[in-house]
Amino acid sequence: MSAAILPLPAARRALSPWQFWGRVLIAPYLVIFAVFVLYPVLYGLWLARHPESYVRLIDDPIFFRTAINTIIFIVVAINLKMLVALALSGFFVQARWWIKVLSVLFILPWAVPSIPTILSVRFMLNPEWGVINTTIFRLTGLDGPNWLNDPALALSFSMLMHVWKSLPFWTLILVAGRLAIPLEQYEAASVDGATRWQKFRFITWPSMRSLYLTSTILSMIWTLGDFNSVYLLTGGGPADLTHVLATLGIRYLRLDQVDLAMASIVVALPLVLPLVYFMMKRLSK
């Protein structure tokens, strides 16, 4: 055996078929990422590079209003949604045949596309012939309010719409979380004489706390991107008073003010990126 031949370090040897195909098979996604994520992001940031865009943005009263709307939306809609999801998760784990049937129907808002359903609600809210106002008239003889013409009511309905659509998903997640808790813990607590509330406080909640937090954070991120619930219900109106972050960008785009559109997104990044970072730490492995 010739001892003079030194073994080559692995990096300099030719790629084994396994390494070769590893790179080839991951390439399609990398191409998609580079062409449709990296480039648009960089291009978008480049479009938002002028400091004076931000000055114009802040001077725009609509932007200020949008920021408030967005914050209200996030704080109210998400907490409402998550609390209801938490409560309903306890409901849906009960073993009754009709609850099982109900859980199947309950998924519909999430499974079905939003346009038909949001438009359906929009028509329910029509001040002249919508179901709600005609029912109010029939019961009381009074004219119901012009729901979507009042900014506060319009925004509230957008939030309700958002909750309607996304509640099933989060309820499902929390149900899965509940099912992961071993039944014996509850049985032991029963033997110890715990009330339902005590069981929740000492068994359910400690196990679910982390999942609830993660879900809330993720829900916040996605709610920031809920375009449909506002746009299809109110169009951002009346008078651009119910815009949220997701719809504002499009508004500027339609007014051909692309730099403002991008600036409005960039301005939101300090809020979004920490939340995303938090989620990544939780879930990436």
Partner 1 sequence: MATVSFRDVKKRFGSTAVIHGVSIDIDDGEFVVLVGPSGCGKSTLLRMLAGLEEISGGDILIDGRVVNDLESKDRDIAMVFQSYALYPHMTVRENMGFSLRLRRAENRTIDERVMQAARILNLDKLLERHPRELSGGQRQRVAMGRAIVRDPKVFLFDEPLSNLDAKLRVAMRAEIKQLHQRLQTTTVYVTHDQIEAMTMADRIVVMQDGIIEQIGTPLELFDSPRNLFVAQFIGSPAMNVFDGAVRDGAVEGLAASWPMPPGVGAPTGQQVQYGVRPTDLQLGSRGIAGTVVVVEPTGAETELLVDVGGQQLTVVTHGRVTAKPGQSIKLLPDPARVHVFDTRSGQRLQ
Partner 2 sequence: MKRKAITREAQLLLIGIPVFLWTMIPIYHLFLFAISGRDSATSGRLWPKDPTLQNFSVVFQQHHFYLNHFWVQLGNSLVIALTVGALTLIIATTAAFAISRLKVRGGRLVMNLALFTYFIPAAFLAVPMYKTMGNYGLLNNQWALILAMVTIASPYCIWVLKQASDKLPWELDEAARIDGASPLQLFRLVYVPLMVPSLVAVGTYALLLAWNEYLYAFLLLSRDDSVTLSVALGNFLAADDSPWELLMATGFIYALPPAAIYYAFKRYMVGGLTAGAVKS
- Interface positions with partner 1 (CB under 8 A): 1, 7, 10, 13, 16-17
Dihedral sign computed on CA atoms, order 270, 45, 236, 230: negative
Q: Which of residues 149-208 bind partner 2 (CB under 8 A)?
A: 164, 172-173, 176-177, 180
Residue 238, preceding peptide bond in cis (omega within 30° of 0): yes
Binder of partner 2 out of 148, 232, 241, 267 (CB under 8 A): 232
Q: What are phi and psi of 73, to 5 degrees?
A: -55, -50
What's the closest the beta carbon of residue 2 comes to partner 2, in angstroms? 29
Q: Which of 9, 113, 141, 270 binds partner 2 (CB under 8 A)?
A: 113
Instruction: Report the C-alpha gap between 224 and 275 in whole angstroms.
Output: 11
- Between 155 and 220, whose beta carbon lies closer to partner 2? 220
Give the start-end residues of each E strand in the chain. Answer: none
Least separation in angstroms between CB 65 and partner 2: 18
Does position 100 interact with partner 2 (CB under 8 A)? The reply is no
CA distance 99 to 87: 14
Quick one: what does residue 202 bind among partner 2, partner 1, none, with the CB cut-off 5 to 8 Å set by partner type? none
The verdict on 119 binding partner 2 (CB under 8 A) reads yes
* Residues of span 32-71 touching partner 2 by CB under 8 A: 32-33, 35-37, 39-41, 43-44, 47
Beta carbons of 217 and 201 less than 8 angstroms apart: no
- Give whichever of 11 and 139 is closer to partner 1, judged by the CB atom: 11
**Residue 206 partner contact from partner 1, partner 2, none using kind-dependent CB cut-offs of 5 to 8 Å:** none
Answer with the entry of partner 2, partner 1, none that 149 interacts with (C-beta below 5 to 8 A by kind).
none
Please report how close the Cβ of residue 102 comes to partner 1 at its closest, in angstroms.
35
User: Phi first, then psi: what are they for 177, rounded to 5°?
Assistant: -65, -40
The span from the CA of 240 to the CA of 250, in Å, is: 12
Q: Give 8 or 142: the residue with its C-beta nearer to partner 1.
A: 8
Question: DSSP states of 103-159 as a string?
Answer: HHHHTHHHHS-HHHHHHHHHHHT-TTT-HHHHHHHHHHSSPPP-GGGSHHHHHHHHH
Give whichever of 17 and 270 is closer to partner 1, judged by the CB atom.
Answer: 17
Taking the complex as a whole, the smallest distance from the CB of residue 3 to partner 2 amounts, in Å, to 30
Q: Which does 7 bind (CB under 5 to 8 A by kind): partner 1, partner 2, none?
A: partner 1
Cβ 179 vs Cβ 93: under 8 Å:
yes
Q: What are the Cα distances from residue 100, in Å, to 44, 168, 178, 226? A: 47, 14, 16, 29
Residues 68 to 87 in contact with partner 2, rule: CB under 8 A: none
